[in-house]
Structure 1
Amino acid sequence: MWVETVSLEGPYHFDHVLDRLSMDPVISLDIVERSVKVPLVINHNPYVFTIKAIGTIEEPRFEISGHDEKIRIRALTEINRIFQWDFSLKTIISHFLETNLSQIFSMHAGTPLVLEFDLYSCLMKSIIHQQLNLKFAHTLTNRFVTSFGYQVDDVWFYPLPEEIAQLDYEQLTNLQFSKRKAEYVIDTSRLVANGTLNLKKLDMLSDDEVVKELVKVRGIGPWTAQSLLLSGLGHPNLFPKADIGIQKAIQKHFKLEKKPTSEEMDIYSEKWTPYLSYATLYLWRSIE
């Protein structure tokens, strides 16, 4: 086993990270031990890495451990990307303290934008979560992963697209997926499996190009495309205005009688650019 210690510039509130990750029953973590196990597929092989916080919010330090020394550098690079360790949150805080979201950013200061562990699982999760309340969305995702995924060291991995591509729609409707959602999940997996939809190439495209590419796929609309950009690729300036949670958070924060219109959201968010993704995250946090 190898162990690497990483120190970051604060603030970085890992306990807020764990709190948010704990809503997803697929993820293996320990809030008391301040640790999370990260499943990664590297060179077509599954590995589990443990991230443990050993520092403070202002002086964050982490121990990362794994078993295979040969993929150590690759794993550390990927973990750094997922947990956004190379981006200083001081920039975010100073930006938003001058905006109409200063109260929310003070309350949740140091909360980073943590990405999903891989793009395919992010896309599947986004499709499954479409138009569902968060609790049932996580329930469906858990059923999907535990029915068709696999475990390594008691940690769940999402199934491969090639495996989901072989399913019948009824195998998902039996888990309480709607017929249409079952079609979206399986048909999209078939496109990924046969190479028609190349997820690895998306990071080379602009935000608009990614959305344009993804919405060609039946079952993927702008909300799902933006979800992949934000939670899968970590693009910093995404604002999914159609998201019900964002609308509710803005309504609550600005004490509106009803949910804001798209035009009103544009007005409220004028000064949030170029960090709309962080505004989105912190607005979600304000109502979770």
Structure 2
Amino acid sequence: MWKEYYHAPGMYDFDYSLRRLSMDPLIRTNMKERYVDVPVRLENDRAVVRVKAEGDIEKPVFSVMSDHNEEQDVIFEHIRNIFQWDKDLNDIHQFFQQTELSMLFHQYQGTPIVRDFNLYDSLMKVIIHQQLNMKFAYTLSTRFVQTFGEEEDGSWFYPTPEKVASLEYDYLRNLQFSQRKAEYVIDTSRLIVDGELDLQKLSKLPNDEVLKTLGKIRGIGPWTVQNWLLFALGRDDLFPAADIGIQNALKKWWQLDEKPSKKDIEKKSMEWSPFRSYAALTLWRSIEG
């Protein structure tokens, strides 16, 4: 067992992140003890890593621990990138104090963007979740992982691209996937296995290049790509104007009788660049239960 500590540079609401993570039945969280167990897929192995809050929003400190005693530096760097601890959220807070969202950011201080744990897993999740209500979306992704993935120390690892590429469509149809969704999941995995889609290389490209590349793949539209950019890559400046939650949050914030149009939202959101992703996340947070 090894354990390291990290002091984040600015405010950080880890408890809120835990609440968001706990929405996914596949992720093991403990709100009382303030930790999450992160499944980490290494080059030739895998590890389960516990990330625990040791401080508060104003003075955030985290412990990172695991029984996996090899590749500690690789694991710690991976965890640091997932939770984006190097991002000073105080700077983002100050930026939004000069905008019409100032009170919203004052109310929900230190809201971080926590990345999904793995690029491939994230893409599979957003493909599965597209055009579904949240409850059934998580039901479907949970069935997918618990049927074809593997459990270790109470944490679930998504199946590998190789495993999914080898499946027949009917295997997913038996889990209540539509025929098209089964094809999107399996066919995209086959592109990755065949070397036609390299998610690691893609993750280094600008947003518009990622949108262009992923957008060519059957079954992957703008909503899916934007979600992958935001939650897999943790990009700072995305604003999904077509998202129903964003529209409802702005309807409430602007005190409108009807949801604002996508065009009006896109125009207004330019004032929140280069941190539009944080505006989106904070707006979503403002209408959560």
TM-score (norm 2): 0.97
Alignment match, 2:98: 98
Alignment match, 1:180: 180
Alignment match, 1:24: 24
Q: Name which of structure 1's ranges 263-272 and 211-220 shifts more when overlaid on structure 2.
A: 263-272
Aligned to 2:3, the other structure's residue is in SS state strand
* Structure 1 position 72 matched with structure 2 position 72: yes
Listed as ranges, the gaps of 5+ residues in structure 1 are none
Q: Deviations over 1:203-223 (max 9, x none)?
A: 221110011000110000111
Aligned to 2:283, the other structure's residue is in SS state helix
What does 1:157-176 align with in structure 2 at a 5 Å threshold? 157-176=157-176
Aligned length: 288
Give the superposition deviation at 1:268.
Answer: 2.5
Give the counterpart letter for 2:105 in structure 1.
F
Distance 2:246 2:136 in 1: 18
Alignment match, 1:267: 267
Listed as ranges, the gaps of 5+ residues in structure 2 are none
* Structure 1 position 138 matched with structure 2 position 165: no
Distance 2:147 2:228 in 1: 23
Alignment match, 1:208: 208
TM-score (norm 1): 0.97
Distance 1:212 1:84 in 2: 26
8 Å contact kept, 2:48–2:68: no
Distance 1:246 1:234 in 2: 18
Alignment match, 1:36: 36
Kindly, what percent of the aligned residue pairs are identical? Answer: 51
Give the counterpart letter for 2:222 in structure 1.
P
Q: Deviations over 1:98-139 (max 9, x none)?
A: 212222212211111000001001101111111111121111
Distance 1:206 1:270 in 2: 18
RMSD: 1.1
Distance 1:244 1:99 in 2: 23
8 Å contact kept, 1:46–1:152: no
Distance 1:133 1:90 in 2: 34
* Structure 1 position 87 matched with structure 2 position 87: yes
8 Å contact kept, 2:250–2:260: yes
Q: Name which of structure 1's ranges 211-220 and 166-175 shifts more when overlaid on structure 2.
A: 166-175
Q: Deviations over 1:240-264 (max 9, x none)?
A: 1222221221122212222221221
Give the superposition deviation at 1:238.
Answer: 0.8
Q: Name which of structure 1's ranges 96-105 and 209-218 shifts more when overlaid on structure 2.
A: 96-105
